[in-house]
Structure 1
Amino acid sequence: MTLKAAPDLLFLLGPSGEWIASNPMTRTHVAASASVLEGIRRTADGHGPDFVEALKGFDEVWVEDRTFFGCRDCTVADATGLELSPRPEARVTGAEAVATALQERFILIDDEAAYRKRFALKTRLLDPEHLGNFHQQMGFELLMRQHKDPEQWWVAQKFEEGLKTVRDNAYRKVQEEFLKRDVPKWALAGKKVLDVGCGAGYYSHLFASFGAEVLGLDQNPEHVSTARNAFRAEGLRFEVFDLSDLESLKRLGGGPFDLIYLSDVLLFYFIPYQPPSTLKGGSHTGRPPVSAASFLGTLKTLLAKGGRVRVLEPHGSFSLCLRYGDPSRPLAVLNEYRRKWFGITPNLQTAAQAFREAGFAVVDIREPVYEGPVRDREDAFLAEYPIWWLFELVPMA
């Protein structure tokens, strides 16, 4: 078996002066001694000496795994999966062990065609042949490594216990702070608001605090129960609703609505959790998958005259991009844009096409960033690159 360097490698200088081989396609990273880097160079094209043979004669042969699942605590954390700090417990030595470690992290490969085929959706949870998209990798992390209920974890990674505050991560630094600044400008007093995919109701409560009459919909009964318990005293209404049932959605009572709000919802209508072929009838309900355009078109029928839709979604370019560079000068690296296999958000053209097909015109696009004091690497990135974008939509004449 002849090993060669994967064709997608980047080489980074770590904070302690060590070199790190990084594969941005697989989001795997390995620190390596200078002799190992020389071995990679000698065998880069697959026509040089055998990698293990190339390491003979070197005194210092080691690698140190620097890979972890970056979003294990928060879906909007750094998805690069690069641990910059030394991990001596993850160090292996010896030519054979080093070669194995580099193969496991896709720094070295033996078959480029097989390597390329890995960049696709998983066909089942334990599919070893494909890396899967972010949804699937997140599900594997929660179910198989953390042994947590994804639905309960989703609320816990975003809100402090009791739903009174947002956790101190990007949800607070960017999303919440942006909405606190912007919602007062929406003139909600006396208006009817439909919060679609309301989750635990936190932002439904924010809208109500500015005088809106709010109805929150979510298809997760646990989230709706949490919202009802948290905001019972405020008189907010929350309903369990299957958001793939467009016929029932058309008959929704309580409208028409002056504002329909979606946050971190629409992405699921562009790229589902699983490929449709693996789901009964195309979706978990037995109905065919619902397109973003048809979903938005149905919401349009619920709008009052002069009403509008605001869609706050993970950014199509930067929400899951790789983060490299000095902590004070972040560098965003895109490894996909049009043909996504890992990412779960549409690019601008795809989103705009769905809006147009649904009969909407885009009247504003906002890209909120962190505006507070920069304290660490995450703050610096969030201050430079937007990880959400807000679309304001009105029905076409």
Structure 2
Amino acid sequence: MSQICPDIISFPESPATHPERWVLMNVFTRQCLGVGPEVMTVLANPDVESTATYRIWRIWRFSHIDGLLADPSRFKRDAGTWGDPQIVDHATLIKLLKDQCIFIDDLASYRARFDVKKSLLDRQRFGTYHQQLGQQLIAIERRDPTAWWLEQKFTPDLAAIRQDNLYGAVQDRFLDQWLPRRITPGMRILDLGCGAGTIAQKMARLGASVLGVDPNPEYIRRASERAEGDSTFQVLDLNSPGALDALPAASFDCIYMSDALLFYFVPYEPGKPLDLLRFISDIKRLLKPGGTFLSLEPHPVFYIQPWLGDPARPFTVMTEYLHTHWRINPPLATLTRPFLDAGFTVIGIEELASDPENPKVDARAARFAAEFPVWLLVEFQAPANA
């Protein structure tokens, strides 16, 4: 017997030019379907047979393919792009509602699907956001995730962060304002997971001596070609035990890491956990007494939450925080506790926001990120006697 899933919301997406259009969305699975108002009568009585016909629009799309910070709402935002409706009978409608997890047959079986994927071909389990993204890129789009990541974050020459998405509107904007207040000439900085070296170059231009390390040889090659000031780069597989052993102890005033620490809490590959305590021990060893570890990570609350509502005043629907199934960024207490236990002190927290009037990015994105920060910076200070 079919039943409406308890995780469903519905809302009109009906501008005057395209009336009577509704969105049915499963906020946990991020699936949705566009429907006419006549479908609403079926939601209350799914098993009552009818000879009526119904209008539906297949509006779901994997919007994250547009970039890690693209609209995460997963449906066509402009009703004018929905096209003509598909006219379906009752049986076909029920099947479509089940395909999008709007109707379910068994609550226990549905709940069991909220688990990590076992492989890229696993369509039964919903998995984490990064697993879904990997499946989409590799198994469906047939694209190289490494190249895709570079394309959607950096300008084609890799010299700067793109300004037409939230990387530029939030992260880059913040760093350009914040780093000059923290970086002084002569500081020795280690950039862990430096990628193509864009942030390392920002710090080098401020007079710091920067060592950037990353496991990807292509990233390091590109970073080395553009090295500025006192900046050097080398390949280090941070996931391998002992990878940082060759770096001398107490040799850095500051260690910087962005968009990578989260994988120590919820690993990208299920069953292959990274050694967080070893990593923290390495950080503590490499920092000078009183040095700082700067962790810039996706916000544990608002990152990849849907941008719903009017572009001028978007809202979101929270679905998880303490127990991560969909997200992979840890709650704030989970993020900080291992560092505090190791003797670090939290000396600063910043929640990165956008300019709501930024004309370079989508209006809904700019206003959402002005109210709901999508990155979090935590400053950890090593013990003075480390």
Normalised TM-score (structure 1):
0.90
Give yes or no for the alignment of 1:392 onto 2:379: yes
Q: How does 1:161-200 map to 2 (within 5 A)?
A: 161-167=156-162, 168-200=164-196
TM superposition shift of 1:233: 5.6
2:274 equivalent among 276, 290, 297: 290
Give yes or no for the alignment of 1:108 onto 2:107: no
| 1:389 partner letter | L
| 1:37 partner letter | M
Q: Which residue of 1 aligns with 2:62?
A: 69
TM superposition shift of 1:234: 4.3
Q: How does 1:35-114 map to 2 (within 5 A)?
A: 35-43=38-46, 50-51=47-48, 53=49, 55-56=50-51, 58=52, 60-86=53-79, 87-88=82-83, 91-114=86-109
TM superposition shift of 1:205: 0.3
Q: Indicate the larger mover: 171-180 or 330-339.
A: 330-339
Q: Partner of 2:159: helix, strand, or coil?
A: coil
TM superposition shift of 1:361: 1.1
Indicate if the aligned counterparts of 2:250 and 2:289 stay in contact, CA closer than 8 A.
no
Indicate if the aligned counterparts of 1:62 and 1:94 stay in contact, CA closer than 8 A.
no
Indicate if the aligned counterparts of 1:367 and 1:386 stay in contact, CA closer than 8 A.
yes
TM superposition shift of 1:147: 1.4
- The percent of aligned pairs where both chains have the same amino acid is 34
In structure 2, do the counterparts of structure 1 residues 355 and 372 end up closer, same or farther at CA, with 3 Å as the change threshold? same
2:334 equivalent among 337, 347, 350: 350
Distance (whole Å) between structure 1 residues aligned to residue 306 and residue 254 of structure 2: 34
In structure 2, do the counterparts of structure 1 residues 190 and 224 end up closer, same or farther at CA, with 3 Å as the change threshold? same
Distance (whole Å) between structure 2 residues aligned to residue 372 and residue 100 of structure 1: 41
Distance (whole Å) between structure 2 residues aligned to residue 253 and residue 154 of structure 1: 31
Q: Which residue of 1 aligns with 2:264?
A: 269
For 1:57-111, what per-residue CA distance to the aligned partner results, in whole angstroms no more than 9, with x for missing partners?
x3x5121122111210211222221222231267352222222211111111111
Q: Partner of 1:325: helix, strand, or coil?
A: coil
Structure 2: state its 5+ residue gaps. none
Indicate if the aligned counterparts of 2:207 and 2:230 stay in contact, CA closer than 8 A.
no
| 1:74 partner letter | G
TM superposition shift of 1:383: 1.0
Distance (whole Å) between structure 2 residues aligned to residue 372 and residue 226 of structure 1: 33
Indicate if the aligned counterparts of 1:318 and 1:387 stay in contact, CA closer than 8 A.
yes
| 1:164 partner letter | A
Q: Which residue of 2 aligns with 1:285?
A: none
Give yes or no for the alignment of 1:152 onto 2:152: no
Indicate if the aligned counterparts of 1:30 and 1:67 stay in contact, CA closer than 8 A.
yes
Q: Partner of 1:326: helix, strand, or coil?
A: coil
Indicate if the aligned counterparts of 1:204 and 1:216 stay in contact, CA closer than 8 A.
yes
Give yes or no for the alignment of 1:142 onto 2:154: no
Q: Which residue of 2 aligns with 1:31?
A: 34
TM superposition shift of 1:146: 2.0
Q: Which residue of 1 aligns with 2:350?
A: 366
Normalised TM-score (structure 2):
0.92
Distance (whole Å) between structure 1 residues aligned to residue 126 and residue 84 of structure 2: 26
For 1:247-275, what per-residue CA distance to the aligned partner results, in whole angstroms no more than 9, with x for missing partners?
23133149600110001010111111121
| 1:264 partner letter | D
Indicate if the aligned counterparts of 1:297 and 1:359 stay in contact, CA closer than 8 A.
no
Give yes or no for the alignment of 1:22 onto 2:22: no
Distance (whole Å) between structure 1 residues aligned to residue 2 and residue 144 of structure 2: 40
TM superposition shift of 1:42: 2.0
Q: Which residue of 1 aligns with 2:365?
A: 378
TM superposition shift of 1:225: 1.4
In structure 2, do the counterparts of structure 1 residues 209 and 336 end up closer, same or farther at CA, with 3 Å as the change threshold? same
In structure 2, do the counterparts of structure 1 residues 72 and 37 end up closer, same or farther at CA, with 3 Å as the change threshold? same
Q: Which residue of 1 aligns with 2:200?
A: 204
Distance (whole Å) between structure 1 residues aligned to residue 287 and residue 125 of structure 2: 42
TM superposition shift of 1:374: 4.7
Q: How does 1:177-256 map to 2 (within 5 A)?
A: 177-229=173-225, 231-232=226-227, 234=229, 236-253=231-248, 256=251
In structure 2, do the counterparts of structure 1 residues 254 and 193 end up closer, same or farther at CA, with 3 Å as the change threshold? farther
| 2:196 partner letter | A
Distance (whole Å) between structure 1 residues aligned to residue 196 and residue 239 of structure 2: 19
Structure 1: state its 5+ residue gaps. 44-49, 277-281, 283-288
For 1:221-266, what per-residue CA distance to the aligned partner results, in whole angstroms no more than 9, with x for missing partners?
121112112x146452111101123423133149600110001010
Distance (whole Å) between structure 2 residues aligned to residue 306 and residue 336 of structure 1: 35
In structure 2, do the counterparts of structure 1 residues 261 and 37 end up closer, same or farther at CA, with 3 Å as the change threshold? same
In structure 2, do the counterparts of structure 1 residues 190 and 235 end up closer, same or farther at CA, with 3 Å as the change threshold? closer
